[in-house]
Structure 1
Amino acid sequence: MRVYPDQLVRQLSPLPQCCLIFGDDPWLCEQSRAALHTEAKRQGFEEKIQLTQETGFSWNELYEQWQAMSLFSSRRIIELTLPQAKPGTEGSAMLQSLMQMDNPDVLLILTGPKLASEQTKSKWFKSLDAKGLYVPCTTPEGAQFQRWLDGRINHYGLSMGRDPREMLFALYEGNLLAADQALQLLQLLSPNAAIDCDQLSQYFEDQSRFSVFQLTDAMLNNQQDKAQHILSQLKSGGVAMPIILWSVFKELGILMQLKSTQNNRQPLQGVWSKLRIWDKRKPIYQTALNRLELNHVESLLAATSAIELKLKQQGIEDWTGLSHVSLLFDPKAHHKLSHIDLA
């Protein structure tokens, strides 16, 4: 039976005969294993046997461990790692045979990389799946990652609003292990107080001389020399590109809403309040609104999206492209640079 990692704990009483944990996300795999071991220990499984299908491995060893009496007169966990997720002909026959020999004093855990669809249709997989649980540990993306992140934030009892949550999403999407470690750090640093974006910037930007907020302010004010200098410093300081893109997208989204309202000849007062823009920051946005047209903002969004897509799909950090985006905050640059394709 297929069970996702966040549902696993609810399916472990009583324990199944076997459990298959396969996937490429190390955090989900380890958390699933830990949950299994914790519940197994509570139900009297004290002894652990670890096997790995590698050169020289004999499937008879698995059979002997399945049949052997525990040295400590307790129930036993046999954990078998399949590095290629392919037991082969002999292994497939052995696994199917063991599933015909019920042994309530043994819990078999198989672990390995992500399974292809054809592997889940194999005889060995079906025989184990019928007797136990299959836990696919695939890294969540998009809305699924946001739900996971919200769940971990609640797990650690952290208080943070939408913006810092979006900032964490941009910085850690695709890396659950690093995200969880960051949340543990935040729990130590701010166990009771609410956490805002300024604090996240301070904690996770390698103590750089400049912050991403200074960069976007320079862009909004069309301070091109300053913006290029800050961008260079952020790069040399090891600041993660996703957090810079998050900040640029955030400011462009605000500009888009303000400019659309302005073009529709509607008052900005309600939008200032809706976007929670303080009085002291209104002049920064007003300067950009007076300088940029709606089509300029749309071009900026398209260029920034191309950089983000290149990063997520190809793993390329396009710092030159970010420099190009900064220049496009000057409307004069659009006549000479907007035709350049950043994809």
Structure 2
Amino acid sequence: MASLKQPLPAAYVVFGEEDLLRIEAVDALRAAAREQEYFDRQVLTVDSHFDWSLLREATQSMGLFSERKLIEIHLPTGKPGKEGAEALLQAAAAFAEDTVTVLVLPNMDKTQQKSKWFQAWLQAACVLECKAVSAAQLPRWIEQRLQQHQLHMAADALDVLAQRVEGNLLAAKQEIDKLALLHGAGARLGLQDAQQAVADVARFDVFDLAQSWMQGNVSRVLQLLASLQSEGDEPVLVVWAVSEDLRALLRLKAGLSSGESEQILRRNLRLWGDKYAWAQQALRRVGVRRVLMALQQCALIDRQIKGAADGKAWQSMQDLLLDLCQKTQKHS
């Protein structure tokens, strides 16, 4: 989004069927807003009990100490109801000065797109539609993402990866992130590298490790770690995956405390399927204080892998995951 380097317009509509692209679009808008000193941020998440007067107050009030203000309106269903439709119409009619308002919606069907409030926002705002990436487009999409990591991949290798992750851009992103960790900037990847990545997924699924430690399954954690260590690799991917999951627990705690809906939390934290329940289980067992300590331990293990700290990385990772499997005596 090169245009985000320019002064931001008063409003955006982000919608479409591809979850990853919507998440990334909103993340990019937040980052651009911070760069342009929109420091006061307000998030409104619409559910069945939402008070639409909050939207009117947010759009009419000045930012904190007259700072520039970013307002996010998350409407997961795409259906605001009668009162909400009127409130959105009013909001689209006049956006506040020194304020950027972002309306975040799911995929909107033809009937929803014809509604007066949606049409009003299309006319008044900058539109970012997050369309699904087709099977034919996926190899090129993967190639562009690899280039962001300064990685280059042969065409036949791209096809192998595309077949592995077709229909799931979140999985595609995970595979690309893993390749970047393993090979580093400037690497040229061929068919064998892609096949090995797919084989690694078959042998050890990061999702499986997350399930095991989040559920407190000590025997399964030990089994998975032993399998990985037997391959003779350093636990780079394990540290990365566990760190990501720990950060998700912190964001989950914050979201639950602020009353965010399950649907919003699942989407924003990428806790798909049963992983949402596992994360809640782990959060209750471990607590925030131990999660923060575990993140510090992950940083230490990363330094051990790089030879910048004493200790054996695999043993440290095992100790960390076994500790996370145990119930804390006092919750944070």
For the superposition of Structure 1 and Structure 2, which TM-score range results when normalised by the shorter chain? Answer: 0.5 to 0.7
- Which 5+ residue runs of structure 1 have no aligned equivalent? 1-7, 210-343
Q: Which residue of 2 aligns with 1:67?
A: 60
TM-score, L = length of structure 1? 0.55
Mapped to 2, the partners of 1:127 and 1:208 lie a distance apart of 48
Q: Which residue of 1 aligns with 2:82?
A: 89
Mapped to 1, the partners of 2:197 and 2:117 lie a distance apart of 48
> Which of 191, 197, 201 is 1:203 aligned to?
197
Alignment pair present for 1:144 and 2:137: yes
Two-structure CA RMSD over aligned residues (Å): 2.1
How many pairs does the alignment contain?
203
Question: Percent sequence identity over matched residues?
Answer: 33
Alignment pair present for 1:154 and 2:147: yes
Mapped to 1, the partners of 2:107 and 2:39 lie a distance apart of 28
Mapped to 2, the partners of 1:124 and 1:94 lie a distance apart of 9
Higher Rg: 1
Secondary structure in structure 2 of the residue aligned to 1:181:
helix
Q: Which residue of 2 aligns with 1:194?
A: 188
Q: Which residue of 2 aligns with 1:254?
A: none
Secondary structure in structure 2 of the residue aligned to 1:32:
helix
Asked if structure 2 preserves the Cα contact closer than 8 Å seen for 1:9 and 1:35, the reply is no
Q: Which residue of 1 aligns with 2:49?
A: 56
Secondary structure in structure 2 of the residue aligned to 1:48:
strand
Q: Cα 1:69–1:207, aligned 2, differ >3 Å: closer, same or farther?
A: closer
Following superposition, the deviation at residue 132 of structure 1 comes to: 0.9
Alignment pair present for 1:17 and 2:10: yes
Secondary structure in structure 1 of the residue aligned to 2:69:
strand
Following superposition, the deviation at residue 208 of structure 1 comes to: 6.0
Following superposition, the deviation at residue 142 of structure 1 comes to: 2.7
Q: Cα 1:201–1:147, aligned 2, differ >3 Å: closer, same or farther?
A: closer
Q: Which residue of 1 aligns with 2:176?
A: 183
Q: Cα 1:127–1:208, aligned 2, differ >3 Å: closer, same or farther?
A: closer
Q: Residues 84-125 of structure 1, C-alpha deviation per residue, up to 9 Å, x if partnerless?
A: 101122111111112222323221111121001222221101
Mapped to 2, the partners of 1:19 and 1:196 lie a distance apart of 40
Secondary structure in structure 2 of the residue aligned to 1:38:
helix
Q: Residues 261-316 of structure 1, C-alpha deviation per residue, up to 9 Å, x if partnerless?
A: xxxxxxxxxxxxxxxxxxxxxxxxxxxxxxxxxxxxxxxxxxxxxxxxxxxxxxxx
Mapped to 2, the partners of 1:38 and 1:131 lie a distance apart of 22
Following superposition, the deviation at residue 199 of structure 1 comes to: 2.3
Mapped to 2, the partners of 1:86 and 1:67 lie a distance apart of 23
- Which 5+ residue runs of structure 2 have no aligned equivalent? 204-332
TM-score, L = length of structure 2? 0.57
Asked if structure 1 preserves the Cα contact closer than 8 Å seen for 2:150 and 2:187, the reply is no
